[in-house]
Amino acid sequence: ESLTTPVDRFEGTTMGKVAVFGLLETAGVPLDNNVGNPILVFQQKLNRFFNGKAQIYSRAEDVPAWWKSKAVGAELNDI
């Protein structure tokens, strides 16, 4: 499958998940790491708060002006 963003999340056996999450999904060990998952959003915000090395959740001032959505990281899309 893919280690980056899936080309077609509805095709294949990984259910749109990538890297180790796709391998686990294929092996029958699904992890709920989808957009909108409140635990995932909380983890991303906590990592941002503590200024962790791997940042997935953007600060408001870092979002470009052309970006229409207020959603960042794993938050549900608002558009």
Confidence check: pLDDT of 11 > 70: no
Tell whether the model's pLDDT for residue 46 goes beyond 70.
Answer: yes
The answer to whether the CB of 42 falls within 8 A of the CB of 74 is no
Count of Cβ atoms closer than 10 Å to residue 74 Cβ: 20
pTM reported for the whole predicted model: 0.55
Q: Which tokens hold the place of 32?
A: 């709920």
Greatest Cα pair distance, the chain, in angstroms, is: 41
- Percent pLDDT > 90 in the chain is 0
Q: Between these two residues, 16 and 37, which has the higher pLDDT value?
A: 37
DSSP helix/strand/coil, 74: coil
